[in-house]
Each structure stands twice: as structure tokens, then as C-alpha cells.
Structure 1
Amino acid sequence: MVPLVSKLYCSSTEVVYVVRKRPHVINGGGFVVTNCDQKVVFSVDGCGILGKAEELILRDERRDALLLIRGKGGIFEALSFNKIWNAYRYDFQGSKKLVFSLRKPKSCLPVDKDTGIRITTKPNLGKKDWDFEISGYFPGKECSIIDSQGNLVAQIGKNKKAGVLLSKDLYYVSIKPGIDQAFVVGVIAILDNIYGESTSC
């Protein structure tokens, strides 16, 4: 797979991270992603910190911004059958470059599966009109990111190693070799916001 954010975040082996929600009352919400040594690898700031709804920032371990994530609103959203999110990174000149778009179909009915949540990359790398999709149900922390060929890219779950049951504010993400970890965490940030979790107000 071609790195979407940076080859620095692509590992030759599978990695397992713990995602920990930050409380709104203490530091504005969002979440941090830690490795097995409990070192922060990524963090996500939501509207509790930024003060803007549907705007998120993915940061690296030094708190440098990697992705600016925005939901499309206004007239566009009102006329669309989908809710669209765009993730941008800044190039060396400071201009924004679209990395990926996530679209979730609008539905009047509650569903227990994330059917139809699809992700496209720019330029589009797949033969379909999407490159990745979400399978499962994010609020239950039982979901996967799958590529357009059906290969598992990342798995989100409550129980990953040694049957350890985590608290409601912690869950695991395992990311396959060669997959851009910053991209996966960016997708998790959008899902977190869509379902009104730690990054939303």
C-alpha cells in the first residue's frame, strides 16, 4: 500500500495500540493512542479543544499536526445523501492537500452496522469508487477497516490480548503491516465524532 500520510507511520509488522478517551471536563476531550510501552503515538483534538464542531486535528507524539479533518456542512450537506468528511495534510509550503474522504449515508432508521461507510483516497487507488469501507459497529468497538479487495486493514475491538477486558474509555486497534497508521487513526477520529463520543461537544 502507498503511504497516505507518511511512510514514517507504516510498519513492516502488525502493531497494536490502545485508544484512550480524554474526559471533556479536564482537557477538552479527544483521545490519545498509545503503544505497548504506554507512550503516546498519536492524539486527536476535537471541538472541546478547538471550539469548532466537526473539525478535528490528528497530531503525532510531539503534538505536531498531521491531519486537519473537517465535516462538510451547510447547503452541501443538506442536498447530499451522504455526510462527507475530508482529511487534509499540509505540504511544505503550508497549503492543504486532500488525503482521504469518508462518506456515511444519511439514514432515518437506527442501524446496528456501519453499512455503507466508505473511504476514498486522492488520487483514487482502487478500481471501485471507494478504496476502504467500515465493517461492523464502531460504538460497540467491534469493527474493521477493509480495503476494496476485501483485505483486513485494521481491527477495532475491546479485547485483543490475553482476554483483558478494558474499561469503556479504552479499546484496542490492531493495524496490519504496511498500512499507514496515521490514516487509520484519522478514520477512527471521524467515527468517534460521528457517534458523538470523545471528540464531539
Structure 2
Amino acid sequence: MVSSKGNLTPIVSKIFCSASQIVLTVRRRPHVVNGGGFVVTDCSQRVVFRVDGCGTLGVRGELMLRDADGEPLLLIRRKGGIVQALSVHRQWRGYMLDYEGMEKLIFCLKEPKSFLVKNNSIKVCMEPRRCSKNWDFQIKGSFPARACTIFDSKGNIVAQVEIKKEVEELLVSKDLYHVVVQPGFDKAFVFGIIAILDNIYDESTQC
């Protein structure tokens, strides 16, 4: 799935792949019930994506990534059942929706149940049937500290979550942070992953 530097790597759609690095801002959605989600804007304060959490959707363990017009791009679910209860990992699955509302599974994220293990990264694979042994992307660092990076399987940086120094110096809440997406990578996929991280760490999408 991953192309060499300078090429597009569409996962949701090539329209979400930029030829240059792009910095987007994430803000917790204000004045809504718990689990309301967050909004992603560009440097001109235009909305690029919206993420609905369980307080909006009414379903725990389910998230929706939408485009600027509110159209659904990714439906994300946490996998349940007795097998997941006994596993050392929890699985999240991301589905694309077609014009008839049919779901197409496109990625699987493995969430370690214990975050006490040092350097225990989160893995993402694009072919869920082989998710137990292989991975295409991984997340390293601390999302709660707004200091984490998404890498591809070749070690290339896909995106970084960060708080700019000038914002940190003003002691602004971590409800406002930035995501730097590298050229060619799919922004919609990146924010699908960030939506899951947000939920894992009991933040804006969590009830």
C-alpha cells in the first residue's frame, strides 16, 4: 500500500493525499454531550474532517469520520466478543461506506490491553486476515502527551501528533493540537487512526 516518497498513497481516496506536507489542527467539539468528538481544520480555519463519538452516534465503541460536508468516510468499530475479551489485544476495524451504505473493511488496528509495556507500539494492517502476524503502519510515542508518530512498515514518517511550542507556552489545553501529515499520505486514513487513539485514551469521542 505504501509508495515511495513523493508518490500518492491513497487508502480512503487520492483526493485526501497532498503533494506537500500539511499541518492540520484538531479541536475538541465544544458544547456537546460527552463523546461528541472533534473537528479538524486547515490553516485557514476551514473544516476538513469531523469525527463523531459515541455521545453523538449513541453506540459505544463506534466512531464515524466525516468529510467537510458531513458525508461519512470511515465507520470505525471496536471488535467485541469472548475471543477479544481473552486476547492480549483489542481490535478496531475501519470500514468504507459506498453510496448504498454497504461496508467494506479496509484496515484493522491492534490495541495492546496493557500500556505499561515499554515501547509497546500500536499496529495497523491493511489486510485484516493477516493482522495477527504482519503490519503496515505502527504508532509510537504518547498520544495523551500529544507526542506520537505514525510510521509505515519501511520506517517512513506518515504523520506526527504534536503541540506547537507557542501553544504549549500559553498553557492551552491538550484539546487543541496539531497533526503534521507528510506528502503523499492519505489524511482521511490518518484521522481515522487518530479517532481510535482518542477513544482508546478516553478523550473527546469516549462516553
TM-score when normalising by structure 1: 0.89
Determine the structure 2 residue equivalent to 1:159.
Answer: 164
Equivalent residues in 2 for 1:95-114 (5 A)? Answer: 95-107=102-114, 110=116
Matched, 1:146 2:155: no
Going from structure 1 to structure 2, the CA distance change for 1:75 and 1:26 (only over 3 Å counts) comes to closer
CA contact (8 A) 1:114 1:137 kept: no
Distance 2:64 2:54 in 1: 9
CA contact (8 A) 2:152 2:158 kept: yes
Matched, 1:190 2:196: yes
Give the CA deviation at 1:123.
7.5
Equivalent residues in 2 for 1:6-155 (5 A)? Answer: 6-23=13-30, 25=32, 29-107=36-114, 110=116, 115-122=120-127, 129-155=134-160
Give the CA deviation at 1:129.
0.5
The letter for the 2-side match of 1:97 is: K
Distance 1:193 1:179 in 2: 23
Determine the structure 1 residue equivalent to 2:179.
Answer: 173
Determine the structure 1 residue equivalent to 2:6.
Answer: none
TM-score when normalising by structure 2: 0.87
Query: Structure 1, residues 4-62: CA drift from partner, whole Å, max 9, x if none?
Result: 10001000000000000114645852000000010110000001101111100000000
Distance 1:198 1:114 in 2: 25
Distance 1:194 1:24 in 2: 22
Secondary structure, counterpart of 2:202 in structure 1? coil
CA contact (8 A) 1:144 1:152 kept: yes
Distance 1:9 1:83 in 2: 28
Going from structure 1 to structure 2, the CA distance change for 1:94 and 1:29 (only over 3 Å counts) comes to closer
Going from structure 1 to structure 2, the CA distance change for 1:71 and 1:131 (only over 3 Å counts) comes to same
Q: Which runs of 5+ in 1 are unaligned?
A: none
Q: Give the alignment's Cα RMSD to 1 decimal.
A: 2.3
Distance 1:37 1:22 in 2: 18
The letter for the 1-side match of 2:150 is: I
Aligned length in residues: 196
Query: Structure 1, residues 52-110: CA drift from partner, whole Å, max 9, x if none?
Result: 11100000000000000000112131132211000000134432111111001222x63
CA contact (8 A) 1:44 1:57 kept: yes
Give the CA deviation at 1:168.
2.3
